[in-house]
Amino acid sequence: MDQRIADLLTLLELEQLEVNLFRGESRDIGSPQVFGGQVLGQALTAASATVEGRIVHSLHAYFLRRGDFNAPIVYQVDRSLDGHSFSNRRVVAIQHGEQIFNMAASFQVEESGFDHQVEMPQVPLPDALPDSSRPPPELLERLPERMRRFFEQPRPFEFRSVQPIDYLRPRRAAPTRQIWFRAVGRLPDDEKLHRCLLAYVSDYFLLDTATLPHGTSFPHSSIVMASIDHAMWFHRPLRVDEWLLYAVESPSASGARGFARAGLFGLDGRLVASTAQEGLVRTKKGS
């Protein structure tokens, strides 16, 4: 197994401290704080560990404080409901004695019913696009040190962006972006695991799309960006080790907040999940 995948799976293997109480390790991915996707993935793992015979279909989360990647995170799960068809869990993430994150997640027994979806956007297939997981070496050398550190970290996912990304000279563009992504190696056949991993990777690219009409992006020192909330809906079975298209759009930015939403499609055109996020997008004073 690829070491990057092995490390990611280890990251999601929580230690059970007590009934409904779990502890997870943290990773430094080159950002100033714990990656939000890590907390999402671990919180969903903790909630899923308390549910039998049901699979998550939605989650709604809030990021309250910056996480410290030098310290573990404790996840406390509240078993809010176990009904006939649905279970509900509330998860609170605690670090250094304070809440840094909370989430509600809903789980459902497998059922059949009405079935329809929107069409997948018409975009080039991933094999026709270059790897955009990191800037090319000649550009990487010209980036500020903090940006280089972020891009030089090994990542368990590869990305192929439909639209070119210019990290040094971002230009104004429509607030839409499509990115293909998949895990860099094969993963176990476990739907619960794949949904937790999708929660992890879903925190990439969402909020940054809200900056496109303004000719800037997250790596630039003049911009302060931080996730406020994150929501996901899981529609159909999925695999994160097969190509998925992240079709993101940002309908609005106002009040120092940016909003983005997205659909996630398989190569076969199935809509497997949807996401939405609002976050702080602020220009530093004096910039």
Looking at residue 170, its pLDDT comes to 77
Give, in degrees to the nearest 5, the angle at Cα 133 between 130 and 134. Answer: 100
Query: Rounded distance, CA 153 to CA 151, Å?
Result: 6
Instruction: Match 């996707």 to its residue by tokens.
Output: 37
Q: What pLDDT is attached to residue 95?
A: 96
pLDDT at 140: 67
Q: What is the CATH number of domain 3-109+130-283?
A: 2.40.160.210
Q: How far is it, in rounded angstroms, from Cα 278 to Cα 261? A: 9
What's the distance, CA 141 to chain centroid?
Answer: 27
Question: What was the pLDDT predicted at 221?
Answer: 59
For residue 154, the model assigns a pLDDT of: 77
Instruction: Please provide the distance, in angstroms rounded to a whole number, between the alpha carbons at the two ends of the chain.
Output: 45
Q: What is the pLDDT of residue 148?
A: 67
**Bridge pairing between strands 73-82 and 21-24:** antiparallel
Q: How high is the pLDDT of residue 82?
A: 97
> Active-site positions?
203, 227, 277
DSSP 160-210: EESS---SSS-----SEEEEEEEESS---S-HHHHHHHHHHHTTSSTGGGG
Q: How far apart are CA 262 and CA 231, in angstroms?
A: 10
| pLDDT by residue, tens only, the chain of 287 residues | 789 999 999 999 999 999 999 999 998 876 778 999 999 999 999 999 999 999 999 999 999 999 998 999 999 999 999 999 999 999 999 999 999 999 999 999 999 999 999 999 999 999 999 988 776 666 667 676 667 666 767 789 999 999 987 777 778 899 999 999 999 999 999 999 999 999 999 999 999 999 999 987 665 557 788 999 999 999 999 999 999 999 999 999 999 999 999 999 999 999 999 999 999 998 877 65
Residue type, 76: Q
Return the pLDDT at 186.
94
Cα separation, 31 vs 100, in Å, equals 16
Distances (CA, A) of 64 to 37, 80, 215, 260: 14, 21, 28, 19
Domain residue extents for the chain: 3-109+130-283
- Structure token pair of residue 204: 């990439």
Query: What is the C-alpha separation between 216 and 256, in angstroms, rounded?
Result: 14
> Which residues have CB under 8 Å from 219's CB, separation 6+?
143, 144, 146, 147, 150, 167
Q: Which pLDDT score, from 0 to 100, does residue 75 have? A: 98
Assessment of whether the complete model's pTM goes beyond 0.85 = yes
Centre a 10 Å sphere on the Cβ of residue 170 and count the other Cβ atoms it contains.
18
